[in-house]
């Protein structure tokens, strides 16, 4: 059996809208000086941990940010570092005051909104010139999917990702027989690895997916889980196809990941008052 992938190259754009509230909604950020102080702490935290701060907005009781993360980062990790540094530095600077309340809101955003991304994934077969009844089993829309797919006690997140995987050297290994069985298997992988499948389009040499994830896992975690498990499944069930095509590894060790959401990154930036 081929060894599991442990590291991947990625093309990505991962934008997250984060919203924090002050402790008991006290007006702790009413002054311009305090807001400027918060901006400096956030900018320093992002720089030290390789996050990119794209936009920020404050009022007396709320902090709203748009940040860009790398595939290895998790939302939980980013929130913990941002809130932890703000709490610690605020307490030191302002006589032990507690700045932030419990919990947070996190939502993905991207170049296109979620509905356009769904339509893009669904149209991939015709976009690449594949037409006819035989293509219908290569498209999957999860009728059981409902967003938010995950709920948590002290925070609220909706994290949607568009993932694209290409077969080894773009060899054509998938067809309408493999597709439905592969979709069922990926649903099972999602239940084990904490992601929910929204929809999938499977082409002979690549696969598009839209999934919803949880904040404690990174995009890279999801990519590795999907690629390694489907490689195992293809080897076990369709070894003859892999032998005939020479695509023993099934996937290239690279992928694309983009965040999508109800609003685009540009719309969120406009909402936060950026020019």
With tokens 């002050």, the residue in question is: 22
- Give the pLDDT score at 262: 87
- Give the pLDDT score at 267: 79
Rounded distance between C-alpha atoms, residue 157 and residue 161, angstroms:
13
Residues in the chain: 275
- Nearest residue to 141 (alpha-carbon basis) of 158, 124, 162, 118: 118
**131-136: Cβ within 8 A, 24+ apart:** 134/176, 135/176, 136/176
- Give the pLDDT score at 275: 37
- Give the pLDDT score at 274: 46
- Strand 62-68 to strand 15-21: parallel, antiparallel, or no bridges (unpaired)? antiparallel
List strand residue ranges (DSSP E) for the chain, in order. 9-13, 15-21, 52-58, 62-68, 105-109, 139-141, 156-167, 195-203, 206-213, 251-260
In the chain, how long is the greatest CA-to-CA distance? 70
Per the structure block, which two tokens stand in for 163?
A: 């993932």
- Sketch the domain layout of the chain as residue ranges: 13-108, 110-260
Per the structure block, which two tokens stand in for 115?
A: 């509905």
- Give the pLDDT score at 162: 97
Per-residue pLDDT of the chain in tens (275 residues, 90 and over written 9): 567 888 899 999 999 999 999 999 999 999 999 999 999 999 999 999 999 999 999 999 999 999 999 999 999 999 999 999 999 999 999 888 899 999 999 999 988 899 999 999 999 999 999 999 999 999 999 999 999 999 999 999 999 999 999 999 999 999 999 999 999 999 999 999 999 999 999 999 999 999 999 999 999 999 999 999 999 999 999 999 999 999 999 999 999 999 999 878 777 777 666 43
**In what helix (H) or strand (E) does residue 127 lie, and over which residues does it extend?**
helix 124-127
DSSP 3-state of 240: helix
- Give the pLDDT score at 241: 97
Write down the CATH number for the domain with range 110-260: 3.30.70.1290
Per the structure block, which two tokens stand in for 98?
A: 């507690």
Architecture of domain 13-108: 2-Layer Sandwich (3.30)
- Give the pLDDT score at 6: 86
Task: Please indicate whether the domains covering 13-108 and 110-260 agree at the CATH topology level.
Answer: yes
Q: Are 67 and 8 within 8 A, CB to CB?
A: no
């Amino acid at each position: 059996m081929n060894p599991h992938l442990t590291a991947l190259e990625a093309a990505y754009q991962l934008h997250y809208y984060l919203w924090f509230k002050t402790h008991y909604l006290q007006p702790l950020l009413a002054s311009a000086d305090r807001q400027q102080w918060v901006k400096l702490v956030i900018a320093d935290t992002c720089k030290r941990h390789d996050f990119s701060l794209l936009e920020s907005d404050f009022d007396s009781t709320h902090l709203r940010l748009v940040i860009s993360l790398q595939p290895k980062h998790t939302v939980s990790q980013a929130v913990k570092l941002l809130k932890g540094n703000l709490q610690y530095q605020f307490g030191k600077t302002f006589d032990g005051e507690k700045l932030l309340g419990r919990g947070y809101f996190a939502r993905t955003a991207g170049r296109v909104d979620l509905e356009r991304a769904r339509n893009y994934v669904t149209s991939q077969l015709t976009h690449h010139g594949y037409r006819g009844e035989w293509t219908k089993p290569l498209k999957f829309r999860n009728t059981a999917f409902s967003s938010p797919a995950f709920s948590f006690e002290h925070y609220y997140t909706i994290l949607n990702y568009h993932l694209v995987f290409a077969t080894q050297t773009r060899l054509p290994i998938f067809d309408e027989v493999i597709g439905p069985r592969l979709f069922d298997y990926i649903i099972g992988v999602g239940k084990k690895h904490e992601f929910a499948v929204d929809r999938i389009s499977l082409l002979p040499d690549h696969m598009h997916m839209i999934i919803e994830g949880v904040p404690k896992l990174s995009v890279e975690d999801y990519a590795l889980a999907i690629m390694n498990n489907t490689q195992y499944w293809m080897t076990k069930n369709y070894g003859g196809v892999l032998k005939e095509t020479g695509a023993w590894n099934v996937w290239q060790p690279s992928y694309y990941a983009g965040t999508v959401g109800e609003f685009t990154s540009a719309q969120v930036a406009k909402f936060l008052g950026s020019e």
